[in-house]
Amino acid sequence: MTEPASKPNGNGAINGTAAAPAVNGNQGPVKSQLYNPNRQVYRPQSHYHRRHRSGRSICCCCCFWTILIILAAALLAAIVGAALYVLYRPHQPQFSITNLRIARMNLTTSTDSPSHLTTLFNLTLIAKNPNNHLVFFYDPFTVTALSDSVFIGNGSLTAFESDKNNQTSLRAVVSGSQDLDTESLSTMRSALKKKKGFPVVIQMDTKVKMRMEWLKSKKVGIRVTCDGIRGTVPAGKSPAVASVIDSQCKVDLRIKIWKFSF
């Protein structure tokens, strides 16, 4: 008697044998993959960042060596300057006014015209170099005369050389002719009435270059201010001699930084 053919059951088994499941059409066992949430994802490093870091490192290195060289040069200059000062003991030049003759000091006033001031001075100046190893080279001087801050005349001095431990006698003619405003007129009238004489201030501006042995400096500006001078108005044609006993001259450096001077 013939047995009936076996039919697949609902689980896909034929004759009690289970059929292998198909995954994506490929037969074979499926391997499980483990997932680690703490695992870092690999990202390749960009060559641009490496070049950027290398360039920045070179720049920092150059800046460091530049600053180091500047500091070393400044330190060396300070050491050389201190050594020269200890060896040579440099001193600034000295100036003094030995004579000031007033040949003309005329103040005229009128209701129809502005007040006018006419002056004429003969100035004798001594420039002294107290240094044994330093020579001064002066450019021409610009001379300005003031009385209570009112301009009363100007002049000039020729260029000269002041040798080691030496003094030079200089002469200048200072003159002026100008109209005065109301304030300047009032100031000059008060000055001319003073019993001890009207005050006179002499300002001299120039540039000087220095030489010490084999070292030479650049030109620097100086201003010489001499005050304590008392003048009198001359009587007749004879010049009046101003009092210079209490006069003192001060030397200031005129170093320009941008547009400022000190």
Q: What is the model's pLDDT at position 160?
A: 96
The pLDDT of residue 17 is 45
Q: What is the pLDDT of residue 73?
A: 86
The answer to whether residue 213 sits within a structural domain is yes
Residue 202 lies in a domain: yes
Is 180 within a domain? yes
> Is residue 43 included in any domain, yes or no?
no
Domain contains 54: no
Distance CA 249, CA 241 (A): 19
Looking at the domain assignment, is residue 240 inside a domain?
Answer: yes
The rounded distance, in Å, linking the Cα atoms of 52 and 45 is: 13
Question: Which pLDDT score, from 0 to 100, does residue 215 have?
Answer: 81
Total tally of structural domains belonging to the chain: 1
Tens digit of pLDDT at every position of the chain (262 positions):
444 444 445 444 444 444 444 444 445 555 455 555 555 555 555 444 555 556 667 777 788 778 888 888 888 877 766 766 666 668 899 999 999 999 999 999 877 788 999 999 999 999 999 998 899 999 999 999 999 999 999 999 999 999 999 999 999 999 999 999 999 999 999 999 998 999 999 999 999 999 987 888 899 999 999 999 999 999 888 999 999 999 999 999 876 544 434 4
pLDDT at 102: 97
Q: What is the pTM of this model?
A: 0.67
232 within a domain of the structure (yes/no): yes
Q: What pLDDT does residue 61 have?
A: 78
Q: Is 45 contained in some domain?
A: no
Domain extent, residue 144, equals 92-251
| pLDDT for the residue numbered 29 | 52
